[in-house]
Structure 1
Amino acid sequence: MARNMWLMTQTWRDLLFLHWPVDPPTIRKYVPEELELDLYDDKAWIGIVLFKARCTRPRFMPPVPGAANFLEVNVRTYVKYKNKTGVYFFSLDANSKLAAETASFGGFLPYRSAKMSFGKKKGQINFKSVTKENPQEKIALQYQILPQPAASTELEKWLTERYCLWTKPGDRLLRLDIAHASWKLKYVQGETVENTMAPYLGINFKYEKPMAHYAEMKKVRFFPPVIEK
């Protein structure tokens, strides 16, 4: 991957990672057959990641009004292709209609429009998202960031240090590489008010306590899609 060939840049702020272990058969049929589930201790993992996207812009261009700054929620799992590890997204929701329509054009990525809010007051963060399509998928959280850094265990690194994603619009499997510095994570404590994300997986995320991590900021670069063979 040539570092000088990036196509788009974005800054992620106030990221919240939520992770749950699941039995591999639960999600196997929702992942393209070319991709192998990436397991940790024989478990697949579901991640729900919430963040602010800021300063989104193509290379050599200024930010596009209406698509530069937005909130996002994505639901993902971890996969491998020919020994390369990365991410597969079940859904990506944004409160920018233009950003969602652009990224989902031609089935490129499964973006959806959603109504979202983010607030921070006296150390507490409130985040809420409701998709605009039916049936609606919702997530609402209240949480605080703990001061001490995360332990950075092998599992925590495995869950978060991912530098490519795969998508399959039509019959083509594509890989997108990304680049950013390693994560500096903190723990959080809080409450899940509502969580009906990815109901087709048959998992009640509200009542299953996740591993939760927070990161303040990360600058990211995205590279051109690669057709896998």
Structure 2
Amino acid sequence: MSPAEAAKAAAPEPVTADAPRLPSRPLMTQSWLDATFLHWAADPALVAPLLPAGVRPDVIDGATYVGLIAFRMHRIGWWPLPGMPYLGTFPETNVRLYSVDAAGRRGVVFRSLEASRLLPVATARTAFRLPYRWARMSAYRSGDEYWYGSRRREPGLPPSRSIIGVRVGPAIETPSALDHFLTARWRLHFTLAGRTVHMPNAHPRWPLHHAELLACEEDLVAAAGLPGVASGPPDSVLFSPGVAVRFARPYAVDRRP
């Protein structure tokens, strides 16, 4: 988004912990389970060139954030069919940014998405042009510890990798404004057929927990165009047992649903 466009843009909508109603019947369903959220504060000027046209960095207290999110995708499906138990269930790790469009709609922008099932990777690339990468991955639990591993396996790509481990603590009874800002996101911004679109989603309020970082060895953030951002400890570490999610179809950002 150019400075002139940003000057004319609407103020961001309020951050809401509860999802707004979907503008249309669901297109897809899935669940995100055992989700670990690692976040680093970043200069909005560093992030802005990586966002789709017509979208600017979303900020809180003058900073935007870069997220490294590891979880288990569970039973992706096309509405109203049941989700797929094998092909639709796999570990995933993504690098995401926080965005707001000219209408003030807050969302996320994915810079990369690692997944261990080749068919969903190919489908997401073809249908939505999302930057999915095929990877060898693992996700497992040992008591109150959760561990996630990933290594890209596509020919021609650097073997980017990540190892993340957390120890989960007590539930967060009253999430902070930053906790909600980083997790309560109700649309995805991306480019489809040459236009910037937003794809609404809805799910129950995230049940969030404190978490202690045990390990984070990764180069996915740098490979996503953000070298140096994740060189130190994350500014926020959160965990959630997960939510069931519904997605509506994409809409152009310059049109209301």
TM-score range with shorter-chain normalisation? Answer: over 0.9
Cα deviation, 1:104-154, whole Å, max 9, x if unaligned, reads 115621111111111212322221111224212211022210024264011
The equivalent residue for 2:158 is 135
- TM-aligned CA deviation for residue 60 of structure 1: 2.6
1:21·1:43 contact (CA, 8 Å) conserved in 2? yes
1:164 maps to a residue whose letter is R
2:24·2:248 contact (CA, 8 Å) conserved in 1? no
The equivalent residue for 1:90 is 111
Change (3 A) 1:116 1:150: farther
Are 1:165 and 2:185 an aligned pair?
no
- TM-aligned CA deviation for residue 63 of structure 1: 3.2
Cα deviation, 1:43-84, whole Å, max 9, x if unaligned, reads 111011111111211113233464210111111111111111
The equivalent residue for 2:208 is 185
Are 1:69 and 2:89 an aligned pair?
yes
The equivalent residue for 1:223 is 248
The equivalent residue for 1:19 is 39
Identity fraction in percent: 27
The ranges of structure 1 where at least 4 consecutive aligned residues each deviate by more than 3 angstroms after the TM superposition are 1-4, 62-66
Whole-Å separation in 1 of the counterparts to 2:139 and 2:43? 32
Whole-Å separation in 2 of the counterparts to 1:92 and 1:127? 14
TM-score by length of 2: 0.83
Relative to its length, the structure with more strand (as a share) is: 1
The equivalent residue for 1:103 is 124
Whole-Å separation in 1 of the counterparts to 2:87 and 2:171? 34
Whole-Å separation in 2 of the counterparts to 1:193 and 1:127? 10
Change (3 A) 1:207 1:127: same
TM-score by length of 1: 0.92
Unaligned 5+ runs, structure 2: 1-20
The CA RMSD measured in Å over matched residues stands at 1.8
2:34·2:72 contact (CA, 8 Å) conserved in 1? yes
SS at match of 1:136: coil
- TM-aligned CA deviation for residue 98 of structure 1: 0.6
Unaligned 5+ runs, structure 1: none
1:115·1:129 contact (CA, 8 Å) conserved in 2? yes
SS at match of 2:107: strand
SS at match of 1:5: coil
The equivalent residue for 2:219 is 196
Bigger shift: residues 206-215 or 157-166: 206-215
Higher RCO by CA contacts (8 Å cutoff, separation 6 or greater): 2
The equivalent residue for 1:145 is 168
Are 1:120 and 2:141 an aligned pair?
yes
Whole-Å separation in 1 of the counterparts to 2:98 and 2:167? 27
1:60 maps to a residue whose letter is P
Whole-Å separation in 1 of the counterparts to 2:69 and 2:45? 22
Aligned length: 229
Match of 1:59 among 79, 84, 91: 79
Whole-Å separation in 2 of the counterparts to 1:56 and 1:93? 15
Whole-Å separation in 1 of the counterparts to 2:127 and 2:95? 20
1:67·1:99 contact (CA, 8 Å) conserved in 2? yes
Whole-Å separation in 2 of the counterparts to 1:120 and 1:150? 23
2:221·2:230 contact (CA, 8 Å) conserved in 1? no
Bigger shift: residues 152-161 or 195-204: 195-204
2:135 maps to a residue whose letter is A
- TM-aligned CA deviation for residue 21 of structure 1: 0.4
